[in-house]
Structure 1
Amino acid sequence: MKKTMLFALAAFAPLALASAVSAAPDSAPADAPIATADEPTLASAVVVQAKIAYRNRSESTAPVLDYGLDYFQRFEPLTVGDALKRVPSVSFLSDVLESDGVRLRGLDPAYTQILINGEKVPGSGSSSGAFGAGADQAFFVDRIPAELIDHIEIVRSNSANRSGDAVAGALNIVLRDALALDGGYVRVGALRFDDKRVREVIGAVWGGQVGPGRLLIGANVQGRRNPKEKLSLRYDEPGASLNNNEVQTDVRNGTDSSFNIAYDVPVGPGQLSVNGFYVHTDRYQNEDSIEYRNGVETAANLLTINDNNVDIQQDSYALNGKYKFPMAGGETSIKLGYAAFQNDEYEFEYETEYLRDSTPFPDGDRFTGDRAKTRITDDEVSAKLEHKRELAAGTDLEFGVQYEGKRRDSRVSEVPRNRYNLPAATPPAYKPFDITSKARLEQTRIDPYVMLSGRSNGLKWEAGLRYETTDVTVQDFVINEKTDKDYSVLLPSASIRYNLTGVDQIYASMARTVRRAGFEYLSPVTLEEELGDNDFRGDPTLEPEKAWGVDVGYERRMGRDGVFGVNLFYRDIKDLIEIYNTGAPGSANDPPDDVTWLYSARNTGDGKVYGIEFDLSTPLSFIGLDNTGVFLNYSYLDSEVKDEFGKRRFNSQAESVFNVGFIQDIPAFGAAFGMTYRKQGEAYSRVVGEEVTTTYGADLEAFIEKRIGKTMVVRLTGSNLLDADKKETFNKFTTIADQRGRSFDEYELEREKAGPVVQLTARMAF
């Protein structure tokens, strides 16, 4: 760690010295002023879109896809996750109507770097899925209301001036800044769900001159609801008769409240920008299920009644400052940031088991009650010092150092299981909560970098080196175990882009990236029934994954607004981190009826990921339809990794992602309408003891809008119009030998379905 600190100080020294010289009263003449931003957009232009929006054309050397809010807005997405359903290579492995963990190129969310305004943010995994209490290398984008964003960038290949933990790529969610808007607007609306419940949507944004600078403020409150129905069918093996079925309702109800603020002001020779946001999630998940013997849904065949509820309270907030000023013949920027995340959950599960013997209810039956509280707090402090200057005509040098200090505390408190046989004259009382898991992760990163870039005769290029150092401490306070791990990795990167003609471009990028093990994989705490009924315990000695990646593509401009692109990508990944079955029994192991295991994580060797991505976004002007816009993208995704049973794809990687849609503007009536269609390919996962195949039905969304004057628009949107469903097939085995020999412990088919959601929204500028 001492070497790391010395290396970082050495990187800081030239900038600090240059800063001191620049600030001296008798220094050289002032450098050129900082370039001014574009003029802010009028609020009325944001509310009433004058024309169809298409994918923005990014001029970056590295391959980047840029989508403005106006690309998504007419379909009224509630969250950033909803918006991302229309862009290339983004898949989800979520419940129906959910879009939380982004799986760029189909890979686990931990392979995708999520940035807000170019900065990393702390986050948590899903409260209802694996690692709901601990995932920290994946930020769930359904926590960010879409109303906050200005545009979204998909960064396909990394550059030296960005954090290297982006094996699959990066998603940069750029919020509106103080220079983005002039004026304000309000948004009010209502959503009607398939269970006939109605939730509210209300928000407002304003931007304008305040004092010497410009201010932007916004607030948004939106009701969230997701009513679903599930059905599970269980057999001894494929083709056998039905053993039992489980009928389940799953309703997730909540409210997201957000606030954002930004202020941009000239200070001395430079520009100071300060921005912050706050998002609060109040969510209640209610799952009720009934299980029947032989699939016969009568009282005489009732097996279990289960009530599983989770109360979730989440707070995410961040504050960032940036000062950019001319110095030493170039431009220097100093950035400071603080971000925090807190997640509090209270979960209870009550289950009554029937038909445990031949005696009629209630004699011999059993009640089981579990209660648990989880608290996660995440804090991150970041700092950056960067300098960019021209070395020669057409050649720029950029260098700097970035610091990140992170601390995550995780605590799980549980009530000892309350289990008793029925009837009970006086059911035993629940015992007090005990802390069953308490752990802390502290991570310090100091990452210096240097990058050269240039442009000449239609050619743009960049090449750089980034040296990332990581110091991790994991402490388990329950068993008083502490583990320290330091490592560093050198990350080269290079990109070129060349104009073949005035409308045709080719590009190529190469970058080395890294995936750090998340807290849930590193923590040596045993989490009971974390993976279904199975336990999980992390390994603090895990090595990070390292990957070499290549992206090669072609892009063609079509008329004034259109663009077509094709991209091929390849990733060669070393030291893969994957979940595996240790072979030890889990805490809920009760053979022969219930066989559970203790899972962990390990470095399992190497793998490769590859595919091809097409995207088209263009008006149909070439056939005389100037007011018709079409959008189409298709991604073929594949991979290869070896496990105990041979070759397979990366777990849960979708085979493909397909999106197509259109928007038809009708200027004479001040109206427009459009539709999008989405289909995600099959995903397969295999670990010791279980194999899962997941498929999704198609998703259809539509909108119709009427513009009223120049300041108001009313829009009706519908999503999930095809009643999309999610189907999962579970092959379960007791031993590795059984799995190889296809001797099943259980074969299960599960289906989840949700109905349409209709939203009526009005926006008015002022």
Structure 2
Amino acid sequence: MSASAFAQDTPPAQVDVRGKVADYDPRRDDTAARIVVRHDDLVKYGDTNLLDALKRIPGVMVNGGAGHGGEVRLQGLGNGYTQVLVDGERMPPGFAFDTLAPDAVERIEVRRAASADLPTQAIAGTINIVLKKVVRTREREFKAGIEAGRDTRSPNASLRLADKRDRFSYSLALAAMRNDFDGDVPAREEGVDAAGRPTLLRTTASREHGHLTTLSLVPRLAWTLDGGDTLALEGLATLNRFRVGVRSPVTTWLGEMAPYPRQDIRMTNDMGSMRAALEWVHRFEGGGQLETKFNASGGYTDNGSDRDAGGNPAVGPLRRDIGSTGHDRDAGTTGKATLPLWEGHALAIGWDAGRAHRDDARRERDPTQPALVIPNGDERYTGTVTRLALYAQDEWQVTPAWSAYLGTRWEGVRIRADGAGFGSARSRASVFSPIVQTLYKLPGRRNDRVRLAVARTYKAPGMEALLPHRYTTVNNSQVEPDVQGNPDLKPELALAIDAAYEREWAPGALFSVSASQRRIDDTTRNLVRFDAAGGRWVSQPENVGSATTRTLQLETHFPLRTVELRGDVARNWSHVDAVPGPDNRLDQQVPLSANLGADWRRDRFAAGANFGFRQGGVVRVSANQTVYLHAQRDLDIYASWKLDAGSQLRVTAVNVLGSDFVNDSSYATIDGVLRNRITNVRRPSVRAAFETKF
């Protein structure tokens, strides 16, 4: 087994091969490949949370939405294959990305290939969110807006203050949002026997109503010391409060009545996180520097579920009050020393060490029978993760046209967890990751280049996946199973190869084609089995063997006089050796995705649109389980007007096509097939915002 790794927030070392700073383009000149999306491109659609902004970045997919467990994916892969960092570091479990507003972000870096100074727990790649740090002039910016639709209303506001005085600078970003929603979540459950004859048909007319409140605070203080050293104190605090009530009447049209045809569920979820870091940068006379950081973070989760179900005389009513809390604490240090020992080289060594502790408790009661002891109702565990990572990297300018990046990283982790009611887990693991990247600029064509990268990466199971405590469902079945962890999980190890050809024929004009392959050992799948002892269906993660995934991606930008056109398309293939085909792809992998966008600007007026497409299809999880991915079509349109030099009005039409989120799964046995489809209805909405600098 293994566990999450943590790392620094500094980009890979770079050789200064550019004549002027203004001529430098990280995508063109850096040996370690990355796509950089700047602040102005992130905020042009007026998004109130980072998840909505991420979905328009080439190669990035977002499954779900803010407040509904949105997951960020590269190469179409979810389930933790994509590593998401903030300033190069993993956030505590209480952190939610939909609490972070784009206004606080300086840039987003997308890295398909690994680099040694970031964690290599990035089989599909890494998305690094870099917060605003540099302050050059006085900044005062305020934004206020509202998003409204048939089933949603969401006011929001943000404030950014920054200034620089002599050797001291400060910045503060504050954002708040509340989303009130009221929508339909219909479901349909069907069953057929071995001969294909219908045996079951149930429909659920679920309706949910609730609200989501988010708050984020990003402060930073920085000093320039004598001798050129810098000292910075920075923080990040987030709060997420989610409340929802769901009424789910189940109608049986054919077959046996559901155990609980009437369901009223009220759920609460509170999450919060806080991180503080002290960073010192010391510059040596010979040109090198030492960057050290000491950080501490904490987070909490508080979940509640009040279940009231009944309606079947043969089963009787069900009342349950379930509450769970978790508290996380983490302290660590990271460092990086850049050593200019040889001309044409940028050698760096670094470390990442820390210790994380988690307390978790779950309590389940029947409010009508307080003295009743519910099997596995009360659980408690404490877990500790100790980590250490050491790395070295060198970027070598072999010739003016050819550069190479060589890196190696060793990560070790020790996990210890003890629980009441479900035992304990112990593990030690280490991963050694060699990394090679190279960039070759074609002779006489500085803007035409070829890239190649080879790296060892991995994916470690989190604490929740390791501990065997169980989360139960109301109408338990093979398509609505309980969920339980597995203490025997091992990390997934991968060998990654990435290649790309990039061509720029004019400033801002780009054509890129890239290909990648990953061979993954000890692939993890969530398999559903019947627990005869407990009489319930249970989903549990298990290692099922090796898998291969491949991606081909095209990307282009066409800047014209007043219009900029852009587009990207990605085709993904994968297969899991231990799962019979066809359609034995990895973790609900999206086979095809595409984005098309256009931005137009003239004088004080700007407008644009972005269309995103995600292809659907069948994914076979195991010999018995299949998941059907439904196609998604997202169209957003925006327009902005500059009222004066410091103010503007922005209007955005969101989800114009009304594309829904659909979860569709089935389970087959020798007796037949059971299928369940849940639709989260999403309707178009309009967002309006006023922005001013003062």
TM-score relative to the length of structure 1: 0.81
Other-structure match for 1:578: 525
Other-structure match for 2:291: 333
Map residues 476-625 of structure 1 onto 2, 5 A cutoff: 476-479=419-422, 481-500=423-442, 501-529=445-473, 533-585=480-532, 587=534, 589=535, 596-620=536-560
> Deviation digits for residues 90-119 of structure 1, max 9, x if unmatched?
223326995722122122241121111112
Distance 2:67 2:637 in 1: 15
Q: 2:378 aligns with which of 428, 436, 439?
A: 436
Q: 1:78 aligns with which of 40, 43, 48?
A: 48
User: Which amino acid is 2:595 matched to?
Assistant: N
What secondary structure is seen at the aligned counterpart in 1 of 2:44? Answer: helix
What secondary structure is seen at the aligned counterpart in 1 of 2:103? Answer: helix
User: Which amino acid is 1:388 matched to?
Assistant: T
Q: 2:306 aligns with which of 348, 372, 395?
A: 348
Map residues 709-728 of structure 1 onto 2, 5 A cutoff: 709-728=644-663
Q: 2:567 aligns with which of 632, 638, 656?
A: 632
**1:160–1:451 contact (8 Å) kept in structure 2:** yes
Distance 2:555 2:169 in 1: 37
Other-structure match for 1:384: 334
Distance 2:528 2:578 in 1: 12
> Deviation digits for residues 383-409 of structure 1, max 9, x if unmatched?
112211212221121112211322222
Distance 1:79 1:72 in 2: 10
Distance change in 2, residues 1:38/1:487 (3 Å): same
What secondary structure is seen at the aligned counterpart in 2 of 1:411? Answer: strand
**1:82–1:99 contact (8 Å) kept in structure 2:** no
Distance 2:295 2:179 in 1: 30
Other-structure match for 2:149: 193
Distance 1:475 1:92 in 2: 35
**2:435–2:454 contact (8 Å) kept in structure 1:** yes
Other-structure match for 1:664: 600
What secondary structure is seen at the aligned counterpart in 2 of 1:724? Answer: coil
Other-structure match for 1:674: 608
Q: Structure 2 stretches of 5 or more lacking a match?
A: 1-19
**2:153–2:179 contact (8 Å) kept in structure 1:** no
Give the CA deviation at 1:689.
4.8
What secondary structure is seen at the aligned counterpart in 2 of 1:631? Answer: strand
User: Which amino acid is 2:380 matched to?
Assistant: K
Does residue 1:457 correspond to 2:400, yes or no? yes
Map residues 26-45 of structure 1 onto 2, 5 A cutoff: none
Does residue 1:748 correspond to 2:683, yes or no? no
> Deviation digits for residues 575-613 of structure 1, max 9, x if unmatched?
2222223542375x4xxxxxx323333222111111111
User: Which amino acid is 2:563 matched to?
Assistant: T
Distance 1:750 1:241 in 2: 20
Distance 2:303 2:599 in 1: 42
Distance 2:137 2:310 in 1: 57
Distance 1:483 1:664 in 2: 57
What secondary structure is seen at the aligned counterpart in 2 of 1:294? Answer: strand
What secondary structure is seen at the aligned counterpart in 2 of 1:119? Answer: coil
> Deviation digits for residues 123-154 of structure 1, max 9, x if unmatched?
26xxxxxxxxxxxxxx7532322222111110
Other-structure match for 2:6: none
Does residue 1:147 correspond to 2:147, yes or no? no
Q: Which moved more, 1:644-653 or 1:260-269?
A: 644-653
Q: Which moved more, 1:685-694 or 1:201-210?
A: 685-694
Q: Structure 1 stretches of 5 or more lacking a match?
A: 1-36, 40-54, 125-138, 357-363, 419-426, 590-595, 621-625
What secondary structure is seen at the aligned counterpart in 1 of 2:587? Answer: coil
> Deviation digits for residues 536-593 of structure 1, max 9, x if unmatched?
3333232211111011001122422232222111111112222223542375x4xxxx
User: Which amino acid is 2:50 matched to?
Assistant: V
Other-structure match for 1:281: 240
Q: 1:374 aligns with which of 309, 324, 348?
A: 324
Distance 1:409 1:242 in 2: 43
Other-structure match for 1:652: 588
- The structure whose Rg is larger is 1
What secondary structure is seen at the aligned counterpart in 2 of 1:61? Answer: coil
> Deviation digits for residues 598-647 of structure 1, max 9, x if unmatched?
33332221111111112223312xxxxx1101121111111110335456
Give the CA deviation at 1:435.
6.1
Q: 2:222 aligns with which of 258, 261, 264?
A: 264
Give the CA deviation at 1:192.
0.8
Give the CA deviation at 1:498.
1.5
Other-structure match for 2:188: 233
Other-structure match for 2:270: 313
Map residues 214-225 of structure 1 onto 2, 5 A cutoff: 214-225=169-180
Distance change in 2, residues 1:239/1:704 (3 Å): farther
Other-structure match for 1:762: 690
Q: 1:167 aligns with which of 123, 127, 134?
A: 123
Distance 1:337 1:148 in 2: 20
User: Which amino acid is 1:604 matched to?
Assistant: V
Distance 2:407 2:467 in 1: 34
What secondary structure is seen at the aligned counterpart in 1 of 2:525? Answer: strand
Distance change in 2, residues 1:716/1:159 (3 Å): same
TM-score relative to the length of structure 2: 0.89
Distance change in 2, residues 1:410/1:301 (3 Å): closer
Distance change in 2, residues 1:749/1:689 (3 Å): same
User: Which amino acid is 2:453 matched to?
Assistant: S
Distance 1:276 1:702 in 2: 34
**2:141–2:691 contact (8 Å) kept in structure 1:** yes
User: Which amino acid is 1:59 matched to?
Assistant: D
Distance change in 2, residues 1:205/1:561 (3 Å): same
> Deviation digits for residues 693-750 of structure 1, max 9, x if unmatched?
12133111111111111100001111111111233433223x4xx2xxxx42523343
The root-mean-square deviation of aligned C-alpha atoms, in Å, is 2.8
User: Which amino acid is 1:367 matched to?
Assistant: P
Other-structure match for 1:202: 157
Does residue 1:113 correspond to 2:55, yes or no? no
User: Which amino acid is 1:609 matched to?
Assistant: T
Distance 2:239 2:201 in 1: 43
Identity of aligned residues (%): 18
> Deviation digits for residues 354-393 of structure 1, max 9, x if unmatched?
4x4xxxxxxx783221211111222222211221121222
**1:286–1:310 contact (8 Å) kept in structure 2:** yes
Q: Alignment length, in residue pairs? A: 658
**2:667–2:673 contact (8 Å) kept in structure 1:** yes
User: Which amino acid is 1:334 matched to?
Assistant: T
Does residue 1:642 correspond to 2:577, yes or no? yes
User: Which amino acid is 2:279 matched to?
Assistant: K
**2:580–2:622 contact (8 Å) kept in structure 1:** no
What secondary structure is seen at the aligned counterpart in 2 of 1:698? Answer: strand
Distance change in 2, residues 1:602/1:697 (3 Å): closer
> Deviation digits for residues 219-266 of structure 1, max 9, x if unmatched?
111112444322222322267376221111133411111111112211
Q: 1:182 aligns with which of 138, 141, 150?
A: 138
Distance 1:181 1:693 in 2: 52
Give the CA deviation at 1:272.
1.4
Give the structure with the larger helix fraction.
1
Distance 1:103 1:280 in 2: 24
What secondary structure is seen at the aligned counterpart in 1 of 2:138? Answer: strand
Other-structure match for 2:633: 698
Distance 2:597 2:182 in 1: 26
Q: Which moved more, 1:373-382 or 1:544-553?
A: 373-382
User: Which amino acid is 1:233 matched to?
Assistant: R
Does residue 1:322 correspond to 2:279, yes or no? yes
